[in-house]
Structure 1
Amino acid sequence: MQLLLTAATQFELQPTLDFLDSQRVKFPGWEIRVLIGGVGIASTTYSLTTELLQKRPSVVIQAGIAGTLSPALLNAASPAVVAVNQDCFADAGVWQNGQWNDLFDLGLMDENAFPYNNRFLKNPWQQLLQHTHLQQVTGLTVQEITTQPQRIAWYEQNSSTVVESMEGAALHYVCLQQQVPFLQLRAVSNIIGERDKKNWRMKEAIATLNETLIRTINTICNLDETEFRP
């Protein structure tokens, strides 16, 4: 069995990498590989696709930091870590007449054409999601970090989005296409639109992300193969 652990940057994973260096023997029967895929949709799509085609894993876990629309997730005693059960390429489209129209609104794509399901890239491996014991949320993935009040207000009023990243939907898209089980874990570091990093909870988010990730790896590596079915 093979677990591929991936993130945009090594910084986000460093505590887990340190743990794996010292504790690898705890996972008999498993090979754990690490892929630092780079920041953004293009880098993630290319690096992850290349990796899966060269050596297909049993499961992929992507971990990283995210912005949120939910102050409750950010302001808890420890920044929340969530499991993203559906994601989308949120800034593919156009503003028209004061509203956002995505590729489905424009008639350029079918909202239920594989790998999409009602416009989202949904994770069908529900058993894996449940084993995380995390709140499951909707994510959006962007190429340009959201800062405009108009866009933020639109998300709040017209979508169920909770977290924003620059790589999540790429993970969902590639793994759905390749039919490889996956999890996306995100720790909340800031409110979407907040660009003053003095107000971010980056250090705390990295700590809680990696505590959760280590626990999740322990769980995954003790599952039966039947748990990796959609």
Structure 2
Amino acid sequence: MLLVLTATANEMRAAFPAAPAVGQGETAEYEAGGRTVLLGVTGVGLLNTALRAGQWLVRSDVDGVVDLGIAGGYDLHETPMGSACFAGAETWPEYGLLDAHGAADPMGLGFAQAEAGGSRIWNRLELSPERDAQRMGLALGHGWLRATGVTVSGVTGTPERADRLKLSCNGQMENMEGFAAAYAAILRGVPFLEVRTISNLVGSREPGDWNLKGALRSLHDAANTLFAA
């Protein structure tokens, strides 16, 4: 059974409007595309996601993880508003030794976060979305974009920070949960897929650079494509 995560109940409701209501920290089984999946709302952020994903991955019947949600785009020419993206990598740029400008050297403390598959995990996870989607029997949509995710503890509020993160992480979409969800799946040894729809321009607080409703509509379409029978 696949574990399908969103950070918020709104995202879960957008993705699966016919599913039972799921609140933060709750799960519910649901028939999607002819299969039973376990829907779980983690709450926003790395900490909530790590705690809940770890809790639910203890179940022996969970054999894959799908992380759904919305995200900001660092360059709306690369990742247009409303577009669906799947993560080819996730970086947590705040892990490590911070310099005066807030940039982190992930090896500066000398402690890797973990070891999996014979490799140490520092602040970046290289993912295999096409392979893992196939392993889980999921369909990636035509025209979906392969993007590098940047997982932050606090949403980027200035263009200057957005520029730094885009450059240092080769980032294309910003979120608050992807690294934690991927990390939990990798430690558990199960396939993982992260799909997000673009809701805003990272670093801008201008209303014209945001379209949450459009991103949620796109998330519904993306979930339909993923779980097409």
Which TM-score band (shorter chain)?
A: 0.7 to 0.9
Counterpart-to-counterpart distance in 1, 2:174 and 2:16: 24
Corresponding position of 1:7:
6
Q: Which of residues 46, 71, 77 is equivalent to 2:76?
A: 71
Aligned residue in 1 for 2:63 = 58
Equivalents in 2 of 1:74, 1:136: separation in Å? Answer: 9
Aligned equivalent of 1:102: 105
Deviates more, 1:135-144 or 1:84-93: 84-93
Map residues 219-230 of structure 1 onto 2, 5 A cutoff.
Answer: none
Aligned to 1:88: 91
Consecutive unaligned residues in structure 1, runs of 5 or more: 223-230
Indicate how the Cα distance of structure 1 residues 49 and 111 shifts in structure 2: closer, same or farther if over 3 A, else same: closer
Deviating more after overlay: 180-189 vs 65-74: 65-74
1:108-150 deviation digits (Å, cap 9, x = unpaired)? 2459953656852122454234741422111010111112444
Equivalent pairs counted in the alignment come to 212
Assess, with a 3 A threshold, how the Cα gap between structure 1 residues 110 and 6 changes in structure 2: closer, same or farther: closer
Aligned to 1:210: 220
The TM-score with structure 1 as length reference comes to 0.80
Q: Which has the higher helix share?
A: 1
Change (3 A) 1:96 1:208: same
* 2:145 matches 1:132: no
Could you say what the CA RMSD is over the residues aligned between the two structures, in angstroms? 2.7
Equivalent-residue separation in structure 2 for 1:94 and 1:109 (angstroms): 10
Measure the CA separation in 2 of the matches of 1:183 and 1:158: 23
Aligned counterpart in structure 2 of residue 122 of structure 1, from 108, 119, 126: 126
So what's the TM-score if we normalise by structure 2? 0.80
Q: CA deviation at 1:188?
A: 0.5
Percentage identity across paired residues of the two chains: 21
**What is the CA deviation profile of residues 34-66 of structure 1, one whole-angstrom value per residue up to 9, with x for unaligned ones?**
100111111100111100103441221110111
How far has the Cα of 1:197 moved from its partner?
4.4
Structure 2 unaligned blocks of 5 or more: 21-29
